[in-house]
Amino acid sequence: MSETRTRGRRGHARTDRQAARRAPLPPELRPVRPGLEGGAYKPLTDPEMRRIHSAALEVLENIGIANAIPSCVRRIEALGGRLTEEGRLLFPRSLVEDTVASAARNFLLHARDPQHDLDLSGTRVHFSTAGAAVHMVDAQTRAYRDSTLADLYDISRLVDTLDNVHMFQRSVVARDLVDPREMDLNTCYAALAGTRKHVGTSWVEPDHVRESVAMLHMIAGGEKKWRERPFVSMSNCFVVPPLRFAEDACRCLEVAVEAGMPVLLLAAGQAGATSPASLAGALVQEVAEVLAGLVYVNAIVPGSPAIFGTWPFISDLRTGAMSGGSGEQAVLMAACAQMSGFYDLPGGVAAGMADSKLPDAQSGLEKAYTTVLAGQAGANIVYESAGMLASLLGCCLESFVIDNDMLGAVLRTIRGIEITEQSLSIDAMRDVCIGGPSHYLGHGQTMELMQKDYVYPEVADRLSPKEWVEKGSRDMIEKARERVQLILSSHYPEYIDPALNQKLRAAFPIRLPTEIMNPASKRW
Amino acid sequence: MSETRTRGRRGHARTDRQAARRAPLPPELRPVRPGLEGGAYKPLTDPEMRRIHSAALEVLENIGIANAIPSCVRRIEALGGRLTEEGRLLFPRSLVEDTVASAARNFLLHARDPQHDLDLSGTRVHFSTAGAAVHMVDAQTRAYRDSTLADLYDISRLVDTLDNVHMFQRSVVARDLVDPREMDLNTCYAALAGTRKHVGTSWVEPDHVRESVAMLHMIAGGEKKWRERPFVSMSNCFVVPPLRFAEDACRCLEVAVEAGMPVLLLAAGQAGATSPASLAGALVQEVAEVLAGLVYVNAIVPGSPAIFGTWPFISDLRTGAMSGGSGEQAVLMAACAQMSGFYDLPGGVAAGMADSKLPDAQSGLEKAYTTVLAGQAGANIVYESAGMLASLLGCCLESFVIDNDMLGAVLRTIRGIEITEQSLSIDAMRDVCIGGPSHYLGHGQTMELMQKDYVYPEVADRLSPKEWVEKGSRDMIEKARERVQLILSSHYPEYIDPALNQKLRAAFPIRLPTEIMNPASKRW
């Protein structure tokens, strides 16, 4: 990791030292890691999960999904599905159950740097960004402004340095690119320029997917290498809830699946608006929709890697506005994580979607109870878990750094408490209490566990009030701001080598200025 | 409730209307309530809990507890315990197990207003304040100042209005009272003057307990009425970890138990300092200590109401400072909640202890992941869950209001997702999707569940960025500040009637000025 971080920065001794200080602990010393096993929190009982499953099968068999594109109808009909007179595609129970049995599971989501591969098996938990925010939030001035491609690149290289954010799905829309083709291509490019963690993004037209796949082949070193380790996944909203296929998204889905790209099958209804107001009903509808997507994907290429993306959003029913930071949202997403576990399928949910417009106390609490419950419920990927504000409309650099600390603590809770003869510590108590010093401060066990068992936050403050006042009474925004500036002014990774970069720029309309990707740009 | 809130305010029409607007929803309409059942989060497996129990029994039988006072030694020896040559009191396994079997369980913790009684059975969850902070924090100026008796009274009447804080244990030390007797008495009085929720407090000397009990008899209307519904509990740190009795606290404990006062048996070691650095070891030590306390209480008066108060605190091992907001703390307290559940004893843990010095993002996230895990693990009382900052050294009025919103959301997650034929919503989906409007906005189910199933925060912001900017781009501190001022300038409950108050002031050195307890004081 430290090698890639400093590669290309030779001759910048100060930058090198800063990079080294930011280098993560060696994996064996880290108290928390990607892929710790969750599952200790079970909001649903087993019989309840079976009832939800059974209701979803009933919905698919009797209500079905509207607006299937012809290629989808053809594929599903070939497998026993049926189009009703109202134009709804019905999925027989057995088809869904066979698909669940044979679908891809326990697969790796690859990263360009293999040490960032995500093992989506069992209840292993990873945290990822995501989103399509249209605003960047200045935490200090409280201003909202349009997000740009340069913001996306900055977020990518910022996330590259955050140990507890394990994957980068694009967080903001590059609103400075008005051409949809350029936006799709450049979003993919800018994300890959900033990090070698796994990248997720989305596309609006199948041609854009094809062109991006051509770019990905070049970056991978050929189609074969891409297909061996596809390091970009497609976030695909293949349904417009309630129970309608999204036609353009389905066309993009087909291209991705055929290109060997993993897909996040995303059903994002909003309870009380596009899905039932009853939390149980919202869950049933989303499960039904994602199961339909899973059948579809497996009808295109059997065994394709797909992530079970039940994302039922909550509305504030007084106004109809989304409330991603509500308690209802927290428990509903955790239940979704349990449902993908019920199917033993890789599951991705969303948490960390604060309603607050700023990284303030509201944002902190909304992010924490949603992410900790999603993680404890064993979601393989918790998307949206860093950086997002304003119910996904805003994205904030300081929030990423703050949320990284939060996710470290959340991961520590997921790791749990190891119970062994030694950890029970009866001998340590005897040493200390009987003829000992009556405290554990210098005890061998304390020294040994200090690094291995305890997570130390990077920006969160643990000073006494006196020291804190002496050091300027700073709040979390001020500390996070300083850290963002330190990282973004020094971390310019060269993850696309110059020769390749020239070729990419010759072949595709890359709009991220080369000078921005250079420490001499002095933007930070 | 609205009756008691406005009692004594006749002639203050404006204040009455404000009070009415603050009046809670009728219980049958509330989406969340005190005593919702937790337990969906289980950080420990059943075999792990048995190992912890077994290790705790071994500690009590072989290492024992030092510094037992003579009356304690006498009582425990009479039941089969033994004092070693090193002066450590050993507790035979069978004595501990018999005590656990016969100890008081499933009891009510009474409030002066019976609708605030806490049912400490099963995994029913309640949130309470607590603490002995020595500072009040001004969230706006960031100043820390000494806390006073007037602060304690203000906090009590503030908490009185917060629906999701179910009990008031004193949060701050009245540092303006230098005489310990006056401090103990007045702390109890000021808490009772501000709320009719259950009150918890502590005392430093047995004589102070006796005098306070005399006061409580007067407030209750006689000893008999007090003993029928004891509405004040003693928070008692009867051990100085590791494994030593605290002598003065034990003397206070004996008086409380004999007076029929429920006790919180509090063992508060600090991992790596006064308890093992290993989380499992910290848990074993605390369980052993609290079991010893339980034997002691039941040796004084069998079947006395006692709350299992395992509070193992976390240290930042780099500095030795407490870190109440860490992930280690969150999972350890949740495990403690599970252990009291293992014994089927009423359990009280601590969560919400932010390390942050301000109600900022750090405070929000630390409070949220600790409280939600403690609640989900089924703690009967989650102490410290509102108002506290700076690892318990600071207390902040704005934080109470912010934390009340958080606890509402946390309670909503604890309520979980009801799975019924109706809630699964297949009929609603059919209505909406087949020949319906393709959305649920006006559906009967949506209207019906809007109030019953959804929690609406009081200060948290759910506006769109545009509206939020138009309304002044306010953060959580600014909104909370406004709400605190509204409540404290209008909510002066008369929970001690004037005639009684005169008698109390004649009998005891009450130091809370009468004018402070009056809206005409214009302090707010």
Question: Is pLDDT at B9 greater than 50 in this prediction?
Answer: no
**Chain A CB contacts of B41 below 8 Å:** 40-42, 376
Average pLDDT for residues A97-113, to the nearest whole number? 98
CB B169 within 8 A of CB B130: yes
CB within 8 Å: A278 and B390: no
| CA of B321 vs chain A CAs: smallest distance (Å) | 8
In A230-351, at which residue ranges do the beta strands (DSSP E only) sit?
A: 232-236, 263-267, 270-271, 306-310, 313-316, 321-322, 348-350
| Tokens 């290498």, located at residue | A225
User: Tell me, what amino acid is at A38?
Assistant: G
| CA of A330 vs chain B CAs: smallest distance (Å) | 7
**Chain A CB contacts of B468 below 8 Å:** 357, 390
CA distance A140 to B45: 45
> How many CB atoms sit inside 10 A of residue A126's CB?
27
| B442-472 per-position pLDDT tens digit | 899 998 898 899 999 999 999 999 999 999 9
Question: Is pLDDT at B212 greater than 60 in this prediction?
Answer: yes
Q: Which of B389, B385, B381 is nearest to B371 (CA)?
A: B385
Q: Which of A44, A124, A92 is nearest to A342 (CA)?
A: A44
Question: Is pLDDT at B405 greater than 70 in this prediction?
Answer: yes
CB within 8 Å: A357 and B473: yes
A118-119 and A108-109 strand pairing: antiparallel
**Chain A CB contacts of B244 below 8 Å:** 438
pLDDT value at position A24?
A: 56
Considering the segment(s) A31-417+455-524 as one domain, its CATH architecture is: Alpha-Beta Barrel (3.20)
Average pLDDT for residues A308-318, to the nearest whole number? 95
CB within 8 Å: B277 and A420: no
CB A65 within 8 A of CB A89: yes
Substitution target from A42, A63, A278 for chain B, most B beta carbons within 10 A: A278
CB B336 within 8 A of CB B286: yes
Question: Is pLDDT at B1 greater than 50 in this prediction?
Answer: no
Q: Which of B328, B406, B417 sits opposite A44 (nearest CB)?
A: B417
CB within 8 Å: A331 and B473: no
Q: Which of A100, A66, A74 is nearest to A302 (CA)?
A: A100
Q: How confident is the model at residue A7 (pLDDT cuts 50, 70, 90)?
A: very low
Is residue B453 packed enough to be buried (19+ CB in 10 Å), middle (13-18) or exposed (0-12)? buried
A348-350 and A381-383 strand pairing: parallel
CB within 8 Å: A440 and B476: no
CB within 8 Å: A428 and B281: yes
% of chain B exceeding 70 in pLDDT: 95
**Chain A CB contacts of B286 below 8 Å:** none
CB within 8 Å: A465 and B58: no
Q: First and final CA of chain B: distance in angstroms?
A: 23
CB within 8 Å: B369 and A372: yes
CA distances from A373 to A244, A336, B30, B372, B392 (A): 30, 11, 23, 8, 25
**Chain B CB contacts of A63 below 8 Å:** 426, 429-430, 433-434
| A367-380 per-position pLDDT tens digit | 999 999 999 999 99
CB within 8 Å: A359 and B363: no
CB B296 within 8 A of CB B238: yes
Radius of gyration of chain A from Cα atoms? 24
CB within 8 Å: B63 and A430: yes
CB within 8 Å: B52 and A424: yes
Question: Is pLDDT at B523 greater than 90 in this prediction?
Answer: no
CA distance A446 to A428: 10
Instruction: Please determine, for the modelled complex, whether the ipTM score is greater than 0.90.
Output: yes
| A114-168 per-position pLDDT tens digit | 999 999 999 999 999 999 999 999 999 999 999 999 999 999 999 999 999 999 9
| CA of A45 vs chain B CAs: smallest distance (Å) | 9
Q: Which of A43, A273, A464 sits opposite B441 (nearest CB)?
A: A273
| CA of A92 vs chain B CAs: smallest distance (Å) | 17
CA distance A268 to A289: 9
pLDDT value at position A498?
A: 95
Q: Specify the DSSP element, H or E, that contains B229.
A: none
Span B101-415: which CATH code?
Answer: 3.20.20.480
B348-350 and B381-383 strand pairing: parallel
What single DSSP character describes residue A521? G
CB within 8 Å: B365 and A367: yes
% of chain A exceeding 90 in pLDDT: 91
CA distance B236 to B311: 12
Question: Is pLDDT at B412 greater than 70 in this prediction?
Answer: yes
Q: A168: helix, coil or strand?
A: strand
Single pTM value for the model: 0.95
| A394-438 per-position pLDDT tens digit | 999 999 999 999 999 999 999 999 999 999 999 999 999 998 999
Average pLDDT for residues B158-174, to the nearest whole number? 98
Residue intervals in chain B for CATH 3.20.20.480: 101-415
CB–CB contacts below 8 A, A to B: 453
Q: Which of A111, A65, A108 is nearest to A90 (CA)?
A: A65
| CA of B123 vs chain A CAs: smallest distance (Å) | 14
| CA of B70 vs chain A CAs: smallest distance (Å) | 20
Q: Which of B63, B242, B279 sits opposite A438 (nearest CB)?
A: B242
CB within 8 Å: B328 and A453: yes
CA distance A95 to A81: 8
Average pLDDT for residues B146-163, to the nearest whole number? 98
> How many CB atoms sit inside 10 A of residue B482's CB?
14
Question: Is pLDDT at B32 greater than 70 in this prediction?
Answer: yes
pLDDT value at position B24?
A: 57
| Poorest-pLDDT segment among A20-24, A50-54, B268-272, B319-323 | A20-24
| CA of B414 vs chain A CAs: smallest distance (Å) | 8
Question: Is pLDDT at A442 greater than 60 in this prediction?
Answer: yes
Report the residue of chain A nearest B376, measured CA to CA.
A41
| CA of A347 vs chain B CAs: smallest distance (Å) | 19
Cis peptide leading into residue A437 (ω within 30°) = no
% of chain B exceeding 90 in pLDDT: 91
Largest CA distance in chain B: 85
